[in-house]
Amino acid sequence: MLHTVNKSPTERNAFDSCLAHAKKGSAILLIEDGIYAALKGTPAAKKLQETMKTVPVYVLEPDVEARGMKGRVVEGVKLVDYGGFVDLVAEYPTTQAWL
């Protein structure tokens, strides 16, 4: 299944809950304020890199750019545009949105 997170990891626990429930075979897509979890030098990104060993992680690029975070996303996270977002939703049979 596809997991989406749209909340900041330092504001809500949606990101931590997502990591605790994302199993092998699923994927994580960070959108809106969820993108702050993918930034270099943050505790959240460290946890994310551990998860990335088993689960692919994507981040919505327009949300990264809007927040002035271009070039700060940690290695291994794949940037997608809105078309890529749609592709991910279509690729996985179900989506869990961690709101």
Partner 1 sequence: MEEDTSGTVKKFLYVNRKAPYGTIYALESLEVVLIAAAFDQDVSLAFLDDGVYQIMKGQLTKGIDVKNFSPTYRALEGYDIEKLYVEKESMDERGLTTDDFCVEVKVISKAEMAALMTSSDVVLSF
> Which residues here bind partner 1, judged by CB under 8 A?
6-8, 10-11, 32-33, 36, 39-43, 61-63, 65-70, 81
Whole-angstrom Cα distance, residue 70 to residue 72? 6
Nearer to partner 1, 26 or 98 (CB): 98
Nearer to partner 1, 26 or 80 (CB): 80
Minimum CB separation from partner 1 for residue 74, in Å? 11
Nearer to partner 1, 31 or 88 (CB): 31
Nearer to partner 1, 84 or 92 (CB): 84
Minimum CB separation from partner 1 for residue 2, in Å? 20
Minimum CB separation from partner 1 for residue 9, in Å? 10
- Residue 32 is encoded by which pair of tokens? 């809106």
Whole-angstrom Cα distance, residue 12 to residue 76? 24
| 8 A C-beta contact, residue 31 and residue 3 | no
Phi–psi pair at 70, nearest 5 degrees: -60, 135
The dihedral built from the CA positions of residue 61, 9, 28 and 43, taken in this order, carries a sign that is positive
DSSP state of 33: G
